[in-house]
Structure 1
Amino acid sequence: MKTEFKVRETSIRYFRDNMLTTYTVLQPSRDCLYNTSHTLPLAHRKNIARLSLTPRGNLLLSVDEDGQAILTNIPRRITLHHFSFKSPVSALAFSPSGRHFAVGVRRQIEVWHTPSTPDQNAEGELEFAPFVRHRVYNGHHDVVQRLEWSSDSRFFLSASKDLTARIWSLDPEEEFVPTTLAGHREGVLGAYFSKDQETIYTISKDGAVFRWVYLRDPNAPEPSDDEMEDVDDDTHMRWRIAERHYFLQNNAKVNCVAYHAESNLLVAGFSNGVFGLYEMPEFNMIHTLSISQNNIDFVTINKTGEWLAFGASKLGQLLVWEWQSESYILKQQGHFDSMNALVYSPDGQKIVTTADDGKIKVWDVKSGFCIVTFTEHTSGVTACEFAKQGNVLFTSSLDGSIRAWDLIRYRNFRTFTAPTRLSFSCLAVDPSGEVVCAGSIDSFDIHIWSVQTGQLLDRLAGHEGPVSSLAFAPDGGVVVSGSWDRTVRIWTVFDRTQTSEPLQLQADVLDVAFRPDSKQLAVSTLDGQLTFWSVSEALQQSGVDGRRDVSGGRKITDRRTAANASGTKSFSTIRYSSDGTCVLAAGNSKYICLYSVSSLVLLKKFTVSINLSLSGTQEFLNSKFMTEGGPVGLIDDQGEASDLEDRIDRSLPGSKRGGDPSARKRIPEVRVTGVAFSPAGRSFCAASTEGLLIYSLDTLPLFDPIDLDLAVTPASTLHVLQKEKDYLKALVMAFRLNEAPLIRTVFEGIPPSSIGLVVSELPTVYLQRLLRFVAKQAEDSPHLEFCLLWIQAILVSHGRWVSENKGSVEAELRTVSRAVAKIRDELRRLADENVFTIDYLLSQPPPGKGVGSSGEQKSITGGDVQILDDEDDDDAEWIGLD
């Protein structure tokens, strides 16, 4: 457990502030085809405001709120360059050729050369600067909102808040003058070229769509005969409005637009949560759909024009819609409010999170997607806990109910309530799943219900303050409760005489946790102390002062520095590792601390976030952001917005967060509300202001130079495999080089008859890597029997080693189990289809002779299907089935 944890690539996040265009610190990338997501290691110091990919998809340019840009190689997931535009960036677009990109920096437009990758720069020219500015364009009087290139990358359009759109040329063109397209009554959100570049569409915020064509100026003098003969003379030609169309959406404003030139599709997202799809230039409405209760803030169309992607920031929604079949490809929504608790499923494949928005979400660890959301609770959900089997989930809420959820049928099958209306703050479930107990912040009693009948069994009285935490011992013998009355009580609820053993502490109890062997109890208190108690003797064994470990980060409202504010920090959530050797603790801080229970040493501190858009991530505050009215971040500047809709304040007086969707803007504080170890002990997750984070030891290194020498090369490995036929040596050499394509080549090049011998002679140091690789191949490879032979050989030859090292190979064994189950289901389905096909063929007319479609005679006899054709007909063919 002393090995350093690293952020796993399948980290899950729910999005805040600005969906699709604002991510924080680590930015997730979602694959809609394969239903997976991975996290790119981008270390921005503020929320990301703009993203753009090159047409080839190999380079990603991301810019944060302050104009700090990072260039990333997407296939290798490597940061190439950091750059500053020195001002906030409002628009960003790569040219179709991929050689330039345009940036809207307030009122200016800057065009830069795209850095070339080695495969692009075939001539081997040296580039001395990653970013080289091509030109700067001035002319707009307000912020540039959109940039769009022509298909030949010679021209681009800019849309601005100054009610105009403009046409620019990349390089000076003969007889071309930058043109202004004016006429809109509100800010222009988008301007687009048609496919033939003979038409321009501009869309403004008030819902007006103008179609511009290149026509002769009607005020120009009549052309002479010479001018009529000169076809190329466009002296009196002008871009003019040919048609005006309007979106009629009941006074709703247009928030975002996108246009697909290849299919002439225009899609618009409105402030009432509705999007419309229109066919241009006729402006025929294909369909409209309400997909959100709030504004749609972002929309885009994929390259083929089949999928539409939408983002709604207030509810954290991400939708991918296929408009032809009118079906969802992807529908994800994060928690609207802060998360309160989380728990791993017993198999380690799912994580359940609960939040103040009353929602319960189940996340798939492998894909990073939310697979189900429960919304039956009417108030904030405070705690969640699995039954031992993992098919039943229990949650407690401030609405006064405890609910039991069936995770096979995804439904609420039992609801527990108290005789009086209470707001439950914590719960615990008996390992057998027959009893559930909950504590409240209103009553000082602990309520116990029967899961089978739903009846209230008992109320445990004894605490003199609100119950803050509950925990059942893993062996089910006792239940422990922590309270704000500075005591922890150990209850024996299953005895005939229910007794409690009080443990006195020095401060309010925030959380309690049992060691997996049920012999030790960890308690976190408000004064930042971690104490460890013996359950059988009710005596304190040791303790840790964690105030200085958890302290760090100065909020913008703090009057003291981070170093002097350690007394206000504490651990609000603690959990034991699977083997009981470590304790994970976190609280109202940007740090997660990992302690050794035996030596009481801090093993590792994990920084949750370095995002300066959150309060509490900085150690020192900048004095220039302090004014007479207080910190700049807390001053409401909504009334200074340029648009009328942005100036209107529709929020309730004093509203900060919670049920009011129009909450006042404030800077969220970085904190961790829940942590949990996976059952395998190889990873842990944390619910924080940044979202749901997963830290894991199972990260594959890019290169592992162990036991390498000059003779181990890909060429020599293939020579050993193909020429020398030394399969064991070739496999070991491939593992040493650790290149996935080479390992796959060697793996598939070993004959099935040699698999058992190779596996039996393989050194144990490579067994875990081989098991991981075979498990991955069993899921993805079409060679089903080949992979099953490898799995069988590993378990037969090294079954004892696998059993002794089950903790370290638990993830691989789960993958193997899942792959074998998948193969079994596919084979069963295929066999059923074959049976149905054979039944169908056998149910055809009685045995006899008939004439086939090609004129030959066929005969069906019993279960055999044969063909009787002329000997000279070589093209006749029929399938024989036994």
Structure 2
Amino acid sequence: MKTEFKFSNLLGTVYSQGNLLFSPDGSCLFSPVGNRVTVFDLVNNKSHTLPFAHRKNIARLGLTPRGNLLLSIDEDGRAILTNVPRRIALHHFSFKSPVTALAFSPSGRHFAVGVGRHVEVWHTPSTPDSNADGELEFAPFVKHRVYAGHYDTVQNLEWSSDSRFFLSAAKDLTARIWSLDPQEGFVPTTLAGHREGVLGAFFSKDQETIYTVSKDGAVFQWAYIRNPNVPEPEDEEMDDAEDDQHMRWRIVDRHYFLRNNTKVNCVAFHAESNLLVTGFSDGVFGLYEMPEFNMIHTLSISQNDIDFVTINRTGEWLAFGASKLGQLLVWEWQSESYILKQQGHFDSINSLVYSPDGQRVITTADDGKIKVWDVNSGFCIVTFTEHTSGVTACEFAKRGNVLFTSSLDGSIRAWDLIRFRNFRTFTAPTRLSFSSLAVDPSGEVVCAGSLDSFDIHIWSVQTGQLLDRLAGHEGPVSSLAFAPNGGLVVSGSWDHTVRIWSIFNRTQTSEPLQLQADVLDVAFRPDSLQLAVSTLDGQLTFWSVAEAQQESGVDGRRDVSGGRKISDRRTAANAAGNKSFGTIRYSSDGSCVLAGGNSKYICLYSTTSLVLLKKYTVSVNLSLSGTQEFLNSKLLTEAGPDALIDDQGEASDLEDRIDRTLPGSTRGGDTAARKRMPEVRVTGVAFAPTGRAFCAASTEGLLIYSLDTQPLFDPIDLDLTITPASTLHVLQKEKDYLKALIMAFRLNETPLIRQVYEGIPPANINHVVSSIPTVYIPRLLRFVALQTEESPHLEFCLLWIQAILVNHGQWVADNRGMVDSELRIVGRAVGKIRDDLRRLAEDNVYMINYLLSQPSASAERDIEGEVLGLKQIGNGEVADMDMDDEEPEWLGLD
């Protein structure tokens, strides 16, 4: 089994904190998700997470006007410059202090950052496509100037359209006008008059007007006018220099939002259409037209504060982010409709499961919600909210259309994933909080275990009635698992035993397996012959199901231990609180076991050699507790670790000083209390049915690791003569299609492969496929499968699929495990084409039948002649009309 799984995507979280960014064309939205950046493609309805990760949560994002460079800065001021099309991190840099504002100039040559009370302007690093030599700079970040003058934190920066001036808004109740370079006759100007911190300052389109918005809901309009208290000069020939002395930026108009008990949290202005968007602390946003301050409309989109708002370049789409509930919304204000409406779990994910076809992942969390995520698009397609308490486990029936979930509210629910509804609810005679779940592969029986009762409850899915209660455990039941062949069910308990039940026999006898510690999780091998058990002492034991004997075991305490929590007084190697695996799962072929727990590591073990194959690091985010191996002694004070000291009462704003959390509560109560310093942990792992990916439910969200993320690079077959230009020459000039396709595969550039693929004539497809080397068949099949889903050339793609299966069908059958995921994609794409064509044909049949039922052309002319034999003249009289005229004229109408 291959073990080179790489991080490919992050689901389950759509927005954490910081600012949102639209791409220059407005089709993509960049959202900070913890210490990573997720890109939402709003046109193609897809999302992907960039592969780099910061050391702490991201605070600010900046994008060049061309859209090719992304600058992301974390809470400590460390920045990463990323090439967006290539998804490659180019440079790392530190601003030495937290950055509170970031903006690139419209020209793209400079960017400004707010570092505390100062504004720093830097030169934009060059890229190989913009540099004349085609090489990166030795020192990419070069400081241009530092601007000082504010007395408090800078909150917003805004450039003028000509990139010569920029505005800064700060908490010191003022906004300031700066020039990039010294300008003759210009001095930096302070715009004062607000009574609370200024959130934003913006230029109008003609740069003759400036708008400033403060936190208390005041909007000031500024203009460069003459002082009205100074008398007009009597002599018109007076020197203009004296007149310029009386010209100042002055307030010409004041507006107020007049919303009681609410503050303005964020503001954005679109100069082209004069639109002002504000987000308030009560979850309402308002859209206003300037300078008249006409309210277009307001809408409540969240139950908590709106943290950030931005507008795309055309001014049609508004993007909002609410961090407390993890909401991300894109709103088209003209049609008043949602372009994107996503929300992640705002509590920890408890369990997850892949659908049998591998296209969806279901997650359940303590917030009582069940979310269905599409693996290909990365979006949540449906959310179930019927549970009234935390959802603890989820399991699919073998057919894949029915999902079962257990909850602490005392119910087991069955969900129809075709109609997306809850069609059956199972409850116990007494109120129990169910913590584990198992479903018979046939979907006829569902079992559940509880931490309150030591019995296992069994229900019939068809009738919903309680069939049986299995008694025998002397402690809470922590985990349940059905054998894949459906004959047995296994239960693990805190009483140090695992019991094997044969529930379809007449007797209720069980075979107990004795262990040395509390059982945390159990898992069946796909062939139902072996059982893996994880216990609290960090041991993984493997048992023979037929003989009820232990075959082997692994001591995983040293493997899983890693990372010190803030409150730990011992090193990570000696800390005892996290040395166990809370969740284990077998791989698709049964050769490996994936295990995770209260640690930053996910371990992959071989079941035959009992060795650790690989350790995957879940997160390097220092904003989480438990990611550091060694604590920094500089952060230790006499009162304890610095991160545990409550400094909320020292905040500058009144809203930030108010403590609304429950005393002593780390779970429950306010959602922000759980997110202040959460601990890194893995609560669930699952292998995809294809075996080419696995997902893990962690503190940061749903992490997906895949084998298909890394480009396949073959340096042995690559030489200096193989370039994109030579490949296109072979394709277009020499007409050697097979050679061009192989050269494109060796370069592994997707646009180049697509160009060669579409440039091969349909008559030559069969010849090219029959002659291609066997080593390229998986890559060709994978590429054609993806093109079948995306390309509009249906017949062309079907010809490729037919040629591959006809010429290499035996090889595909012999290597089914290698190309299983590609065959699934082919089957899904062909099925979609079939359904679309059937629907189109049915519509055409109805149209043809309708046309055939109409009278013929000659008969229709006769009918029209009889009906239109009389024409009305303008004065209301009726006269006969000559019916021989093919196109009669209307008479008497001007």
Question: Which of the numbers 825, 835, 857 marks the counterpart of 1:815?
Answer: 825
Flag the 1:824–1:568 CA change in 2: closer, same or farther, 3 A: closer
How does the TM-score come out when normalised to structure 1? 0.94
Q: Residue 217 of structure 1 is aligned with which of 212, 227, 231?
A: 227
Equivalent residue in structure 2 for 1:104, among 87, 97, 114: 114
Q: Distance in 2 between matches of 1:444 and 1:567?
A: 26
Deviation by residue 1:303-350 (Cα, 9 ceiling, x = unmatched): 100000000001000000000010000011000111100000000000
- Establish whether residue 731 from structure 1 lines up as the match of residue 741 from structure 2: yes
Q: Please give the secondary structure, in 2, of the residue aligned with 1:8.
A: strand
Question: 1:14, 1:335 within 8 Å by CA — same for their partners in 2?
Answer: no
Q: Residues 227 and 608 (structure 1 numbering): CA distance in 2 closer, same or farther, change over 3 Å? A: farther
The aligned amino acid for 1:471 is A
- Residue among 773, 781, 784 paired with 1:771: 781
2:125 to 91, 109, 115: 115
Aligned to 1:140: 150
2:79 corresponds to: 69
Alignment partners' CA distance in 2, 1:567 and 1:354: 25
The residue that corresponds to 1:854 in the other structure is none
Structure 1 residues 709 and 135: CA distance shift in structure 2, 3 A: closer
Distance 2:134 2:593 in 1: 54
**2:440: which partner in 1?**
430
Question: Aligned partners of 1:636, 1:616: CA distance in 2, in Å?
Answer: 19
Structure 2: which amino acid aligns with 1:746? Answer: V
The structure 2 residue matched to 1:174, chosen from 154, 159, 184, is 184
Q: 1:156 and 1:280 mapped to 2: Cα distance?
A: 20
State how far apart, in whole Å, the 2-side matches of 1:534 and 1:753 are: 57
User: Residues 48 and 570 (structure 1 numbering): CA distance in 2 closer, same or farther, change over 3 Å?
Assistant: same
Match of 1:4 in 2: 4
Q: Secondary structure of the equivalent of 2:857? A: coil
Report matched runs for 1:834-845 at 5 Å: 834-845=844-855
What is aligned with 1:804? 814
CA-to-aligned-CA distance 1:412-438 (integer Å, 9 cap, x gap): 111111111111000000000011010
2:311 is equivalent to residue 301 of structure 1: yes
Q: Deviations along 1:350-381, whole A, 9 cap, x unmatched? A: 00001111111110101111111111111111
Q: Is the 8 A contact 1:356 1:658 kept in 2?
A: no
- The root-mean-square deviation of aligned C-alpha atoms, in Å, is 2.1
- Structure 2 residue 382 is the aligned partner of structure 1 residue 372: yes
Per-residue displacement from partner, 1:195-237 (whole Å, max 9, x unpaired)? 1111111111111111111111123243232467849952211
Compared CA separation, residues 724 and 219, structure 1 to 2 (3 A): closer
CA contact (8 A) 2:578 2:599 kept: no
Give the match's secondary structure for 1:63. strand
In the alignment, the residues of structure 2 paired with residue 292 and residue 493 of structure 1 have an alpha-carbon distance, to the nearest angstrom, of 48
CA distance in 2, matches of 1:743, 1:677: 30
Task: Name the stretch that deviates more: 796-805 or 329-338.
Answer: 796-805
- Which among 799, 805, 823 is matched to residue 795 of structure 1? 805
Deviations 1:830-872 (A, max 9, x none): 3344334434544555322899xxxxxxxxxxxxxxxxxx9xx
1:456 Cα deviation after fit: 0.6
Task: State whether residues 11 and 379 of structure 2, in contact with CA within 8 Å, keep that contact through their aligned partners in structure 1.
Answer: no
Asked if 2 retains the 8 angstrom alpha-carbon contact of 1:685 and 1:693, the reply is yes
Distance in 2 between residues matched to 1:409 and 1:832, nearest whole Å: 24
- Decide whether the 8 Å contact of 1:107 with 1:140 is kept in 2: yes
In structure 2, how many angstroms separate the alpha carbons of the residues matched to 1:47 and 1:247? 33
Partner residue of 2:287? Answer: 277
Q: State the match for 2:194 in structure 1.
A: 184
Letter in 1 for 2:801: I
Structure 2 partner of 1:510:
520
Q: Look up the SS of the partner of 2:789 in the other structure.
A: helix
Equivalent residue in structure 1 for 2:572, among 562, 573, 588: 562
1:829 CA drift (Å): 3.4
Task: Find out whether 1:590 has 2:579 as its counterpart.
Answer: no
* Paired positions, count: 853
- SS of the aligned residue for 2:321 comes to strand
1:626 aligns with 2:636: yes
Percentage of identical aligned residues: 82
SS of 2:685 mapped into structure 1: strand
Higher deviation after alignment, 62-71 or 110-119: 110-119
Opposite residue 644 of structure 1, the aligned amino acid is: L
| 1:614 corresponds to 2:624 | yes
Code of the residue aligned with 2:663 in structure 1: it is P
Residue number among 59, 64, 80 corresponding to 1:49 in the alignment: 59
Cα separation, 2, equivalents of 1:395 and 1:647:
40
Describe the shift of the 1:124–1:460 C-alpha distance in structure 2 as closer, same or farther (beyond 3 A).
Answer: closer
Aligned to 2:881: none
Give the secondary-structure state (helix, strand or coil) at the position aligned to 1:135: strand
Q: 1:11 to 1:809 in 2, by over 3 A?
A: farther
- Larger deviation: 545-554 or 818-827? 818-827
Aligned partner of 2:765 in structure 1 is: 755
1:489/1:684 CA distance change after superposition, 3 Å: same
- Separation in structure 1 between the aligned mates of residue 246 and residue 710 of structure 2, nearest angstrom: 65
Choose the corresponding residue for 2:69, options 44, 59, 70. 59
Which letter maps to 1:415?
T
**Residue number in structure 2 paired with 1:198:** 208
Q: Which runs of 5+ in 1 are unaligned?
A: 852-869, 871-882
Note the residue ranges of structure 2 that are not aligned, 5 or more in a row.
21-30, 862-885, 887-894
Matched, 1:528 2:549: no
Residue 637 of structure 1 pairs with residue 660 of structure 2 = no
Taking the aligned partners of 2:620 and 2:55, their CA distance within structure 1 comes to 6
| Residue aligned with 1:777, SS | helix
The answer as to whether partners of 1:166 and 1:179 remain within 8 angstroms in 2 is yes
> What residue in structure 1 maps to residue 392 of structure 2?
382
1:789-845, Cα deviation, whole Å (9 max, x unpaired)? 110111122222212222221221121122212222332333344334434544555
> In structure 1, how many angstroms separate the alpha carbons of the residues matched to 2:600 and 2:698?
9
* Amino acid across the alignment from 2:568: D
SS in 2 for 1:798: helix
Post-superposition Cα deviations, 1:522-541, rounded to whole Å, max 9, x if no partner, equal 00000000000000110000
Contact preservation (8 Å) 1:344, 1:677: yes
Q: Distance in 2 between matches of 1:783 and 1:209?
A: 54
Following superposition, the deviation at residue 129 of structure 1 comes to: 1.9
Q: In structure 2, which of residues 457, 462, 468 is the aligned counterpart of residue 458 of structure 1?
A: 468
Q: In structure 2, what is the Cα distance between the partners aligned to 1:145 and 1:205?
A: 11
Does residue 491 in structure 1 map to residue 476 in structure 2?
A: no
Native 8 Å contact 1:28 1:40 kept in 2: yes
Q: Secondary structure at the match of 2:112?
A: strand
Match of 2:481, SS state, is: strand
Contact 1:527/1:567, CA 8 A, preserved across alignment? no
2:265 is aligned to: 255
Q: Report the alpha carbon displacement of residue 705 of structure 1 after superposing the two structures with TM.
A: 2.2
- After TM superposition, the structure 1 = structure 2 runs for residues 664-675 of structure 1, keeping only pairs within 5 Å, are 666-675=676-685
Match of 1:409 in 2: 419
Distance 1:232 1:352 in 2: 73
Report SS of the residue matched to 2:806.
helix
Query: Which SS does the other structure have where 1:427 is aligned?
Result: strand
1:151 counterpart = 2:155: no
Q: Please, which moves more after superposition, 116-125 or 305-314? A: 116-125
Cα offsets for 1:863-882 (capped at 9, x unmatched): xxxxxxx9xxxxxxxxxxxx
1:464-500 Cα offsets, whole Å, 9 max, x none, are 1000000000000010000000000000101011210
Contact 2:200 2:214 in 1 (8 A): yes
Give the superposition deviation at 1:256: 0.4
SS in 1 for 2:673: coil
User: In structure 2, which of residues 450, 456, 460 is the aligned counterpart of residue 440 of structure 1?
Assistant: 450
Q: Which amino acid aligns with 2:396?
A: F
Work out the CA distance in 1 between the residues paired with 2:19 and 2:65.
22
Distance between the aligned counterparts of 1:599 and 1:293, measured in 2? 53
Give, in angstroms, the shift of residue 575 of structure 1.
0.2
